[in-house]
């Protein structure tokens, strides 16, 4: 008879998210995961198959958290272009205030492992697709409210915003807040 798990998968994956976010995939060993997650290697392998299996679950959970926490205001947007500004500025503030000093796990993973692994690349594409879909929804509403040009290429603008968001995720760890705020303002002006 299989043993019953003595832990919550969601809770241990949250801990794995933090480990990978802080150290990256390559520098996070099974021993480190064991320590961070509070479960033994047998449990890691039996539940997730491998370190990569833990990482895939961590990326999935991170995406879900981003959707429900960081994207929540954009998901509720009625098409006010300022909602995009607020989202970008909130991200800058989150990094600069120390709430998310490591930026975006997906941006970090893209830089570290971008096209090296098919499964991880699929996770990254899925995340970027989510961002794009959220931006498309806000931009369509903004277009109908005449907050952006009636000839605006919504999909092109959404792609632009995904790249801006992920670029911001990288540079927010290094640049000064005023420089990042300038970037956000220029990004918003570009949309109008």
pLDDT by position in tens, the chain (length 192): 455 567 788 899 999 999 999 999 999 999 999 999 998 888 888 889 999 999 999 999 999 999 999 999 999 999 999 999 999 999 999 988 888 878 899 999 999 887 789 999 999 999 999 999 999 999 999 999 999 999 999 999 999 999 999 999 999 989 999 999 999 999 999 998
pLDDT of 103:
87
pLDDT at 1: 44
Model's pTM, two decimal places? 0.90
List where CATH 1.10.357.10 sits in the chain. 71-191
* pLDDT on residue 124: 96
Which residue reads 């930026």 in tokens? Answer: 103
Domain ranges in the chain with CATH number 1.10.10.60: 1-61
* CA atoms of 76 and 101, how far apart (whole Å): 26
CA dihedral 99, 35, 117, 49 (to 10 degrees): -130
Residue 50 Cα distances to 44, 66, 116, angstroms? 7, 24, 17
71-191 CATH: 1.10.357.10
Burial label for 47, CB within 10 Å (0-12, 13-18, 19+), is: middle
> What number does CATH give the domain 1-61?
1.10.10.60
pLDDT computed for residue 3 by the predictor: 58
Question: How high is the pLDDT of residue 4?
Answer: 58
pLDDT value of position 116: 86
Handedness of CA 66, 70, 76, 77 (dihedral sign): negative
Fill in the DSSP letter of residue 1. -
């Amino acid at each position: 008879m299989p043993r019953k798990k003595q832990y919550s998968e969601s809770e241990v994956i949250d801990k794995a998210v933090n480990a990978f976010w802080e150290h990256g995939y390559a520098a996070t060993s099974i021993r480190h995961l064991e320590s961070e997650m509070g479960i033994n290697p047998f449990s890691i392998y039996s539940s997730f198959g491998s370190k990569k299996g833990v990482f895939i679950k961590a990326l999935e959970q991170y995406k879900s958290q981003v959707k429900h926490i960081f994207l929540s205001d954009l998901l509720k947007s009625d098409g006010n272009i300022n909602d995009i500004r607020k989202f970008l500025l909130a991200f800058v503030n989150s990094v600069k205030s120390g709430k998310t000093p490591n930026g975006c796990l997906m941006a970090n993973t893209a830089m570290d492992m971008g096209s090296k692994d098919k499964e991880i690349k699929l996770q990254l594409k899925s995340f970027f697709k989510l961002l794009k879909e959220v931006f498309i929804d806000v931009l369509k509403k903004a277009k109908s409210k005449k907050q952006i040009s009636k000839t605006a290429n919504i999909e092109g603008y959404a792609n632009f915003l995904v790249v801006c968001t992920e670029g911001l995720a990288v540079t927010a760890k290094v640049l000064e807040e005023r420089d990042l705020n300038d970037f956000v303002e220029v990004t918003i002006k570009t949309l109008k």
